[in-house]
């Protein structure tokens, strides 16, 4: 295998890399080696909610890298304590103990270990279109990709049908009975269980699974089912936290406080930072039982300082309200496109996390996999990165621009998508 620019030296950890080589990023844009400007409506890896190279974030990184960047995990520092105070200050009572980590998969591993330690059980319930990470326990609860080719997963994971209104067999003649589907799923879970249940782990909006929003009332029903069985409710808000859905945290819309909350991606605004947050009671019980979760970058001061600044900016600038307003505008523009392009079967999502599902025809709802890939590539060529999933949700665009975007950038992205859809139809 050859490659003139050295890219052949990089192990391909997923699909093939995009042909562009990115050399710079600023605000809502990335720039390739040919000087082309590309509108980034994926926020990097769905993470850079403040845009790229936000001046306040870069200032914190410069200061911390020169004074206090990394410590042994057995030490605490003022930036870590300040981060825990700032984050819990955004959250309701019952979420007041923070474990600072580095990735979303890591935070899910910690949460699952907490739940198993606290309850004494080992079984975990996850939705069948979920994405929680690629490490052991997280990978076992991930169903939208990455399950094949490497042997058995961690035992004890039971699946619940995702409440996917657009495609559910419980959607009959336009009426979606998610409660019937929910009860059906739990009946199957109870029959499979060995009686040693520990946790339910879900995303309030399944992003990699196709931008599928849990119906109103679903989280409350899920909490009740979990608590009836002595399980903890764990919410993975890797992509929905820190204002993206129109609330600081997606669970706030439903008024349901999880037993454990996992944050990552958006929490570090593009830098590797995650947090597993739980109650004082659960933390104390886990500590008394000898809970151990040392990682090299647990409680790193540089990342924690960035997290504090992200909390400050999101709350100070009212970015959740901004996401709600701009998200409504994006959704209205996408619904207009749906009227013009028959290939758009469904538009869904909340705030600035939106999905556009492509179909070969609206009657059969057959996914337009090949067209989706071609349209996504055409968007890149026209100057906009609009993420098209290549896993279980292939044929579904995810739009997740920075919360700092504006109407002009939105109009530009929609115009490019419109043009790409039109070219595909020719």
| Alpha carbons 281 and 276: distance in angstroms, whole number | 14
- Residue 203 known to be catalytic: yes
Among residues 40, 106, 116, 131, the one annotated as catalytic is 131
- Residue 225 known to be catalytic: no
- Residue 116 known to be catalytic: no
* CA 78 to each of CA 90, 209, 297, 341: distance values in angstroms, whole numbers, following the listed order: 19, 38, 16, 54
Residue 167: CA count within 13 A, CB half-sphere: 20
Backbone angles phi, psi at 127, to 5 degrees: -75, 150
Among residues 265, 309, 333, 348, the one annotated as catalytic is 265
Q: Identify the three-state secondary structure at position 401.
A: coil
* CA 26 to each of CA 10, 50, 198, 316, 332: distance values in angstroms, whole numbers, following the listed order: 25, 10, 43, 22, 27
Asked whether the beta carbons of 60 and 306 are under 8 A apart, the reply is: yes
Secondary structure element (H or E) that encloses residue 31, with its range:
strand 29-32
Secondary structure element (H or E) that encloses residue 228, with its range:
helix 218-228
Among residues 236, 247, 254, 346, the one annotated as catalytic is 236
- Residue 338 known to be catalytic: no
- Roughly how many angstroms between the first and final C-alpha of the chain, as a whole number? 36
Among residues 106, 109, 203, 247, the one annotated as catalytic is 203
* CA 107 to each of CA 134, 220, 265, 332: distance values in angstroms, whole numbers, following the listed order: 12, 23, 11, 35
The residue among 159, 162, 218, 223 whose CA lies nearest residue 192 is: 159
- Residue 239 known to be catalytic: yes
| Alpha carbons 229 and 115: distance in angstroms, whole number | 13
- Residue 236 known to be catalytic: yes
| Alpha carbons 412 and 205: distance in angstroms, whole number | 26
**387-388 and 97-101 as β-strands: parallel, antiparallel, unpaired?**
unpaired
Beta bridge partners of 233: 200
Q: How many other C-beta atoms can be found within 10 angstroms of the C-beta atom of residue 220? A: 12
Among residues 213, 239, 247, 357, the one annotated as catalytic is 239
| Alpha carbons 125 and 219: distance in angstroms, whole number | 14
**29-32 and 22-26 as β-strands: parallel, antiparallel, unpaired?**
antiparallel
Secondary structure element (H or E) that encloses residue 302, with its range:
helix 301-316
CA angle 376, 377, 382 (to 5 degrees): 95
Residues annotated catalytic, as ranges: 131, 203, 236, 239, 265, 398
């Amino acid at each position: 295998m050859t490659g003139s620019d050295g890219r052949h030296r990089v192990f391909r950890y997923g699909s093939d890399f995009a042909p562009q080589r990115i050399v710079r990023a600023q605000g809502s844009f990335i720039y390739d080696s040919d000087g082309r400007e590309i509108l980034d409506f994926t926020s990097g890896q769905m993470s850079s909610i403040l845009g790229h190279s936000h001046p306040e974030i870069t200032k914190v990184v410069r200061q911390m890298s020169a004074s206090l960047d990394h410590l042994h995990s057995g030490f605490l520092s003022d930036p870590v304590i300040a981060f825990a105070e700032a984050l819990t200050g955004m959250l309701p009572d019952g979420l007041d103990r923070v474990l600072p980590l580095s990735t979303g998969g890591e935070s899910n591993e910690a949460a699952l270990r907490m739940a198993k330690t606290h309850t004494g059980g080992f079984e975990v319930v996850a939705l069948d279109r979920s994405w929680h990470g690629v490490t052991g326990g997280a990978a076992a609860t991930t169903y939208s990709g990455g399950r094949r080719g490497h042997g058995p997963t961690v035992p004890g994971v039971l699946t619940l049908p995702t409440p996917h209104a657009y495609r559910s067999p419980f959607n009959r003649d336009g009426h979606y009975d998610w409660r019937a589907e929910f009860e059906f799923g739990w009946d199957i879970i109870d029959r499979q269980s060995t009686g040693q249940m520990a946790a339910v782990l879900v995303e309030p909006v399944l992003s990699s699974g196709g931008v599928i929003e849990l119906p109103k009332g679903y989280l409350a029903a899920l909490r009740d089912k979990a608590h009836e069985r002595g399980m903890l409710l764990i919410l993975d808000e890797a992509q929905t936290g820190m204002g993206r859905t129109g609330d600081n945290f997606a669970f706030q819309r439903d008024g349901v406080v999880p037993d454990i909350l996992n944050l990552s991606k958006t929490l570090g605004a593009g830098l590797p930072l995650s947090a597993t947050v739980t109650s004082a009671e659960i933390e104390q019980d886990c500590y008394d039982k000898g809970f151990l979760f040392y990682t090299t970058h647990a409680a790193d001061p540089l990342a924690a300082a960035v997290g504090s600044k992200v909390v400050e900016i999101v709350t100070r600038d009212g970015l959740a309200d901004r996401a709600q307003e701009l998200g409504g505008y994006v959704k209205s523009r996408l619904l207009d496109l749906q009227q013009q392009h028959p290939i758009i079967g469904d538009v869904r999502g909340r705030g600035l996390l939106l999905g556009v599902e492509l179909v070969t025809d609206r009657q059969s709802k057959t996914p337009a996999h090949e067209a989706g890939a071609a349209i996504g590539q055409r968007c890149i060529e026209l100057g906009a990165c609009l993420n098209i999933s290549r896993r279980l949700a292939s044929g579904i665009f995810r739009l997740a621009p920075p919360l700092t975007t504006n109407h002009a950038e939105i109009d530009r992205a929609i115009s490019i998508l419109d043009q790409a859809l039109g070219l595909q139809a020719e």
